[in-house]
Structure 1
């Protein structure tokens, strides 16, 4: 492009782009052969400004750039902290007549107001070479790259930014500063206080005496790891060689990667997890490859903690049509559903957690993952009703089923049926280990269909599949029907006792006179608030008493659920706040203080095991009381139950409960706490309307790889 052409483009765009203020941009591409020798180039480019407009003013810098055959754009994410920015992504298809190299170029004014370099023009340039590679027999694909529009670091806190540098062709990826003479940048400044490792694409901040916004205009290039030929239909082939320092051998392609970095006032501490947010489980690791399937929603769960600052947001850069929600447990869920056009693509997603302390906003490290889009998974129909989920899956679309050994998540009693054509099941939204999650807009119920070896075992070494099914309901205040969370009375039948019913209820106070209404479930509690509970017969059974054998708190009302917190064991209070009010009576009253499990579950049930005994009989388990795990010798025969003296253990549960949301909770959680407990958030009292039923397919090979968590993520 001539200098006059560049100036013309600059003048045309200045009136619109100037008001937006540029925060950076990037572009990636892949291609496929079209008809009559043509090629279709799939291009994704991101740009960030103050506003959410996409400027599609890409000009042809050199070669034959063909014509645009498809274009769609939209907002990815935005933030009001660190300057108000909005990132958009556009997906563009260009049809070119042959596979000869060409360049796309864009230029305008101005970078975000910059106290370090006083602002200036910006330029983006992408070099696309569609020559057929001799090693893959396909055209070259660019590196996979994206970044947040602006990253921020306190002046006194050294930090490394590991820029995503992944290549689908397994080429060597390098990063360098843009060259003004090649139209790769607008200001082309290499800032003091920063170092760029070109081999690893790592930008390191050491220290700077000057605070403010720095513009980084980088170029990402890929080189083959061995000598290869590039063959063309309209020109002679060329040889491409690996990168050698000091040589001038050209890359296979080059793409822009530009963003802003702000050096802020010093922080009280540079330790992650104090003022600067620290990522915790289940946040994926940097560089991790995540599997996605065509037409099936992908979830990426991100969670961060900080002792002194409050986590207020997770900002991200991802593919067009990705969305973000926050759950009641403080997890941010990034969702994206690939289409058939995305099959085979590798797409990047980067994210940063933001924490607020007073008027200061602090950022975590930036993490990036690669989403690998695979073929569509099992064909299924999920039907969501008011209180059940029904699933029917075409058996021909599932591989690796071991006979008919299928069941629902962690529940040996909830088996899944199958015939020669389909796998099918219907289960309650509140049973069979179904997990409940609440976001600001949705109520989500999830379960997993999995294979197993033996219906009496909770482990398997032949687990080939896991099909996660989900019903997502949208909260609608205009709907009058409530989700029926309250558990009804439990009916028992025992020889010598006949049939009887017991109910598990919660009360407002320790007087046990004001029962919590079933219409108010799930119940809400503050941390430390007393929870008053009573298990009593629906109709009084003469000459009987109840013994509270054990109680646990768990995200499920399934007694075999693998995650639980003991409250009462062997009739003895295990939790230090437990108080048992009654003994040797027809009902049992007890209380404890509400607490917080840490993790990804959105509900808690209080589940208890009770024994009904003949009243005033010293030979029963009820009479023995708390044993602390031991049995008194003279009374050891009480475990050999006699008909008419005592019943077996019966399971009864109530819930779910949820913890009231409060900004202070985040500040109260120390990063040194053990993160293997999970609580008190529950499904919402709000009314719901059905949105959809969705499946997630997680295929597993015979070899299962395990990865240890870093100690700071346990």
Structure 2
């Protein structure tokens, strides 16, 4: 080969490689008949490339495609793995004057490089839309709804089935097949070896030891009626449609579903949960139908595990404006808020967990769910302040619910009030069962207003009304003013002990003579200052002693918060600076040096688990004092005695302690 020929070949290869960036796409549509007889067609299409593109280059291939009235698009998700991809979705609305069939087409170059085309062949997408009025529904046909990740990856030695979610809103039979070149349904139109497509169930399976590399799948999804129907047109004779028997029957619609599969190097194990991530509760199941309400945020929580891999991400494909956040407990939360335009429609969401082991990144199975959008729910107005949440719900939007049969989070002590027009309540961000959650960017405080039959019952056999209320705070904003109130005394009631109250207080010095005033909260300390604390009964209970089983420090008033620091465990001080001043007394005094949590946390809460026991009784947990944990269980038999000699454990907390910021210094060169 001459130098010029070699240079031309290299330039062609470089040009082709740089243009090889297409990872696939899909399209679904939902038609609505307008009062004037025209049709509005909501078309949603996804495309994936190396970079984020959301452009409308669809052309009308046949029929009357109408005119585009709006177009909006944006990024769904992206990943550096699998060749680095970004998937976008765009929503295009078109007005069509009649209900005759038409086709939209898009094509270009080039697919990513595959095992059978290193240059990346052409790609093409085509959608067949038939707006004929169905005799069974008296409405135009709706397409199946489907989506997929742009690329799915599988180790060479592992067999896997990919269930391509094929849900049809009209309950038609859905079928998947490879695209046909003569119908412009594909670009390369290659049926990869080493894979099997079950056309009836839309399941793609890979053979073990298929050649490593990338494969492009250019599929077409079709829907067929399950009974004899006719399609009626405004300007055409009716067309009959028979139930699906074989491929010779014309489908009601055709939509593209294209994506890539990468066969990777073999994995040490194909067992899910070892190297390949395995999904855990509360992850929804494959094909599950989830209900969403207009203008109300939907949460899909995804959690995965792997013994030898660290879960590094969850990638997903969902509707435009869906987002993803990661919680500090290792859950990934996909959020989406439907609009009134989405009412009555079905939306697919697919997701995959990724696990990292060294430089290898492993994928879980792909799971897909269907979100069905229902009408708007109760109209609630939520006001969030620095330490409280106020909720007001319009009674007209919760008809049939008695205002006296509502409460917060099954907490009988947290009442919900009502009048002729509204149901309302106000509660502390750290009270009434409010749950706290932290994501990468937000602090969320959640509670639920629920119905109940009888305040003394924990079950119901009536239809349950639930409305989740939430306050969301940006972590970048100041959060030091939250929970700035002094904690009141905690009341306990125990058989054999009656009712009693204990208070957790901070003191000025080791003399424990001057209580820090409740009005001074949050309490300011410098890192390293000594903190003096006492847990004591409000009224002395004769012949009792208090025992501190454990104390933990957290940045929020939640002892189960995932970020925590142990101070006392099994009655033993585990922080080097802890000093316990008294034991076997009605009260307990202890101290420690102040510290702060690393990161954007300026405050500390102390939560302790305490137990009340009979004084001078050697059989109680209090009498055993500090243990290494092996002796604690031996005292459990005391619960079987007729006379109560100790209470169960109770949590008591106090704070916040606010750590003064140190002066900032600027380095000088």
2:427 matched residue in structure 1? 427
SS at match of 1:135: coil
Does 2:474 correspond to 1:490? Answer: no
Counterparts in 2 of 1:620 and 1:344: CA distance versus 1, 3 Å: closer
2:28 matched residue in structure 1? 28
Counterparts in 2 of 1:138 and 1:604: CA distance versus 1, 3 Å: farther
2: CA distance between counterparts of 1:408 and 1:605?
A: 25
1:239 matched residue in structure 2? 240
1:611-690 pair list within 5 angstroms: 611=612, 627-630=635-638, 652-654=651-653
1: CA distance between counterparts of 2:460 and 2:571?
A: 32
SS at match of 1:630: helix
Counterparts in 2 of 1:308 and 1:686: CA distance versus 1, 3 Å: farther
**Structure 1 contact 490–652 (Cα < 8 Å) conserved:** no
Counterparts in 2 of 1:376 and 1:500: CA distance versus 1, 3 Å: closer
Counterparts in 2 of 1:638 and 1:358: CA distance versus 1, 3 Å: closer
**Structure 2 contact 504–654 (Cα < 8 Å) conserved:** no
Shift of 1:243: 1.9
2: CA distance between counterparts of 1:82 and 1:336?
A: 26
Counterparts in 2 of 1:543 and 1:338: CA distance versus 1, 3 Å: closer
SS at match of 2:460: coil
Counterparts in 2 of 1:162 and 1:125: CA distance versus 1, 3 Å: same
SS at match of 1:447: strand
2: CA distance between counterparts of 1:321 and 1:505?
A: 48
1:70-109 pair list within 5 angstroms: 70-109=70-109
**Structure 1 contact 487–653 (Cα < 8 Å) conserved:** no
1:190 matched residue in structure 2? 191
Shift of 1:419: 2.1
**Structure 1 contact 383–391 (Cα < 8 Å) conserved:** yes
2:10 matched residue in structure 1? none
1:199-598 pair list within 5 angstroms: 199-245=200-246, 247-402=247-402, 404-477=404-477, 479=478, 481-484=480-483, 488=487, 490=489, 502-503=503-504, 536-537=535-536, 546-548=545-547, 583-588=583-588
**Structure 2 contact 490–652 (Cα < 8 Å) conserved:** no
2: CA distance between counterparts of 1:498 and 1:330?
A: 40
Counterparts in 2 of 1:397 and 1:650: CA distance versus 1, 3 Å: same
SS at match of 2:638: coil
**Structure 2 contact 387–484 (Cα < 8 Å) conserved:** no
Moved more, 159-168 or 497-506: 497-506
- Alignment deviations for residues 294-343 of structure 1 (CA, whole Å, 9 cap, x no partner): 11111111111111111111111111111111000111111111111111
Counterparts in 2 of 1:498 and 1:468: CA distance versus 1, 3 Å: closer
2:178 matched residue in structure 1? 177
**Structure 1 contact 400–464 (Cα < 8 Å) conserved:** no
Shift of 1:18: 6.6
Give the unaligned 5+ runs of structure 2. 1-14, 508-515, 525-530, 561-565, 592-603, 626-631, 662-669
SS at match of 1:628: helix
Counterparts in 2 of 1:485 and 1:650: CA distance versus 1, 3 Å: farther
2:594 matched residue in structure 1? none
Counterparts in 2 of 1:491 and 1:234: CA distance versus 1, 3 Å: closer
**Structure 1 contact 22–110 (Cα < 8 Å) conserved:** yes
RMSD: 4.3
Shift of 1:459: 2.5
1: CA distance between counterparts of 2:153 and 2:19?
A: 23
- Alignment deviations for residues 419-445 of structure 1 (CA, whole Å, 9 cap, x no partner): 222111111100111000001111000
Shift of 1:201: 0.2
SS at match of 2:467: strand
Aligned pairs, number: 593
2: CA distance between counterparts of 1:256 and 1:447?
A: 42
1:168 matched residue in structure 2? 169
1: CA distance between counterparts of 2:498 and 2:347?
A: 64
**Structure 1 contact 125–183 (Cα < 8 Å) conserved:** yes
- Alignment deviations for residues 441-475 of structure 1 (CA, whole Å, 9 cap, x no partner): 11000001111122223322225201111111111
**Structure 2 contact 403–423 (Cα < 8 Å) conserved:** no
Shift of 1:414: 1.0
**Structure 2 contact 536–588 (Cα < 8 Å) conserved:** no
SS at match of 1:404: helix
Counterparts in 2 of 1:448 and 1:655: CA distance versus 1, 3 Å: farther
SS at match of 2:108: strand
- Alignment deviations for residues 643-680 of structure 1 (CA, whole Å, 9 cap, x no partner): xxx9x9995522799xxxxxxxxxxxxxxxxxxxxxxx
**Structure 1 contact 31–139 (Cα < 8 Å) conserved:** yes
2: CA distance between counterparts of 1:182 and 1:86?
A: 28
1:158 matched residue in structure 2? 159
2: CA distance between counterparts of 1:620 and 1:241?
A: 79
- Alignment deviations for residues 59-78 of structure 1 (CA, whole Å, 9 cap, x no partner): 11111111111111111111
- Alignment deviations for residues 239-262 of structure 1 (CA, whole Å, 9 cap, x no partner): 1112223x5111000000000100
**Structure 1 contact 156–207 (Cα < 8 Å) conserved:** yes
2:5 matched residue in structure 1? none
2: CA distance between counterparts of 1:258 and 1:606?
A: 54
- Alignment deviations for residues 604-643 of structure 1 (CA, whole Å, 9 cap, x no partner): 9956454487x7699999789985243797xx6677xxxx
Q: TM-score, normalised by structure 2?
A: 0.79
Counterparts in 2 of 1:182 and 1:395: CA distance versus 1, 3 Å: same
1: CA distance between counterparts of 2:461 and 2:291?
A: 22
Moved more, 388-397 or 17-26: 17-26
Shift of 1:52: 0.6
SS at match of 2:535: strand
1: CA distance between counterparts of 2:233 and 2:167?
A: 25
2: CA distance between counterparts of 1:169 and 1:631?
A: 60
- Alignment deviations for residues 534-580 of structure 1 (CA, whole Å, 9 cap, x no partner): 75339997997633398899999899x9xxxxx9xxxx9699x9999
Shift of 1:116: 3.2
Counterparts in 2 of 1:106 and 1:549: CA distance versus 1, 3 Å: same
1: CA distance between counterparts of 2:128 and 2:101?
A: 7
Q: TM-score, normalised by structure 1?
A: 0.74
Q: Which has the higher contact order (CA 8 A, sep 6+)?
A: 1
**Structure 2 contact 292–298 (Cα < 8 Å) conserved:** yes
2: CA distance between counterparts of 1:129 and 1:542?
A: 80
2: CA distance between counterparts of 1:204 and 1:543?
A: 73
**Structure 1 contact 125–256 (Cα < 8 Å) conserved:** yes
Counterparts in 2 of 1:153 and 1:416: CA distance versus 1, 3 Å: same
Shift of 1:352: 0.6
1:69 matched residue in structure 2? 69
**Structure 2 contact 127–256 (Cα < 8 Å) conserved:** yes
Counterparts in 2 of 1:69 and 1:183: CA distance versus 1, 3 Å: same
SS at match of 2:74: strand
